[in-house]
Amino acid sequence: ETGVTQTPRHLVMGMTNKKSLKCEQHLGHNAMYWYKQSAKKPLELMFVYSLEERVENNSVPSRFSPECPNSSHLFLHLHTLQPEDSALYLCASSQDGAPGYNEQFFGPGTRLTVL
Return the DSSP state at 39: T
**Phi and psi, residue 73, nearest 5°:** -125, 140
Number of Cβ within 10 Å of residue 54's Cβ equals 11
Instruction: Confirm or reject binding of residue 53 to another protein (CB under 8 A).
Output: yes
Per CB under 8 A, which of residues 72..111 are in contact with another protein?
90, 92, 98-109
Cβ distance to another protein smaller for residue 17 or 108: 108
Judged by CB under 8 A, which stretch of 12-20, 39-47, 60-68, 70-78 contacts another protein? Answer: 39-47
C-alpha angle with apex 106: 102 to 111, nearest 5 degrees? Answer: 145
Positions in the binding site for another protein (CB under 8 A): 4, 40-43, 45, 48, 53, 55, 57-58, 90, 92, 98-109
